[in-house]
Amino acid sequence: MRQAGRYLPEYRAVRAKSDFLTMCRTPELAVEVTLQPLDLVGVDAAIIFSDILVVPEAMGMHLTLDEGIGPQFTSPLRAMADLDRLQPVDPNESLGYMLDAIRLARREINDRVPLIGFAGAPWTLAAYMVEGKGTKQFALAKRMLFEQPTMAHALLDKLATAVGDFLLAQIAAGAQVVQLFESWAGSLGPEEFRAYSLPYLARIAARVRPTGVPLIVFAPGAGWALRDIAEATQAEAVGVDWHSSPRSARALCAGLNVAMQGNLDPCALYASPAEIRRRTHEMIAGFGPIGHVANLGHGILPDVAPAHARAFVDAVKEWRWTEEHLAAAGVSTDATPFSPRPA
């Protein structure tokens, strides 16, 4: 999550010459920063450089993204009639620059590591489109759910179609894993999450499933819903944010064939390398010896020292399961020793 970013001096050097959206829309620049973490941090996968809000932009909404202000839509959606101006999305046309970046990245990576594509989930995109920007409460977007549920479902329906088409286009272009970010899941209560987020996550997942490409669904702030998400989407993996303990996340999904991604607190990377190593090993032990994508529990922060990001990656790579660890995780030590699959 957010591997390429302001924490890397090499990224800032590229960013100094181009604005963020130009970087997203220029495949050569997008690929340059996509590849930076592979050598600089040593990660086991590349995540294509882009932004979740390119989908609403492709639907005809004017997007600005200014340093220090964040993303903004100049004409937010406030009434049912506003939905009429949203355009159908043909990913090969309006989002072709990202698909070109995926193709170029695959050539540059040359199968060294897998390439991950992604998209924002419908509720998260809708929240931005109605508010016009990121907020703490998303009161206007949530007001829509209670006052204008027909508008809410109409908007989410359009977005589910667009996002599903976009993920399928990314897969056709060469993405080997795709991730769906429901970044503002935490703004919804359980009833609203099950009505306005979960069905649309499931609908998109159903479209991805026949491709055979693994899907990761990440809904930070909704750790209580991990089982709901896993059951509804049948995703290969669910993201776990840093509010949940690895063991509690496993317990919630007991009996389900789902991997977990996460979940070190990004602020732990401010600690010393030794403390990062201790916390990372504790996290891995908590998730157990199978079905775990070691990661942060949210995006990396911009002022983290690259050496500390590397310390996290190194701590993951050096981990080895011992009989003591396996016994603590409740795994029989009489079984064949666990051997992780190649990255």
Distance CA 154, CA 158 (A): 6
pLDDT of amino acid 11: 94
Percentage of the chain modeled with pLDDT above 90:
88
Mean per-residue pLDDT, 311-319? 97
State residue 189 phi and psi, 5-degree precision: -75, 170
The residue annotated as part of the active site, out of 11, 25, 106, 128, is: 128
Domains and CATH numbers, the chain: 9-78+86-328 (3.20.20.210)
Cβ contact 92:58 at 8 Å: no
- Tell me the whole-structure pTM to 2 decimals: 0.93
6 classed as catalytic: yes
pLDDT of amino acid 281: 98
The residue annotated as part of the active site, out of 15, 25, 203, 277, is: 15
pLDDT of amino acid 136: 85
The yes-or-no verdict on residue 299 having pLDDT over 60 is yes
Q: Using one digit for the tens of pLDDT, what is the confidence trace for 180-205?
A: 999 999 999 999 999 999 999 999 99
15 classed as catalytic: yes
Q: Using one digit for the tens of pLDDT, what is the confidence trace for 130-152?
A: 999 988 889 999 999 999 999 99
Cβ contact 312:269 at 8 Å: yes
The helix (run of H) or strand (run of E) holding residue 212 is none
pLDDT of amino acid 69: 79
The residues near 142 (Cβ < 8 Å, ≥ 6 apart) are 187, 188, 192
Which amino acid appears at position 85 of this protein?
R
Which amino acid appears at position 221 of this protein?
G
The DSSP output letter for 301 is P
State residue 209 phi and psi, 5-degree precision: -55, -45
How many Cα atoms occupy the beta-carbon half-sphere of 167 within 13 Å?
33
2 classed as catalytic: yes
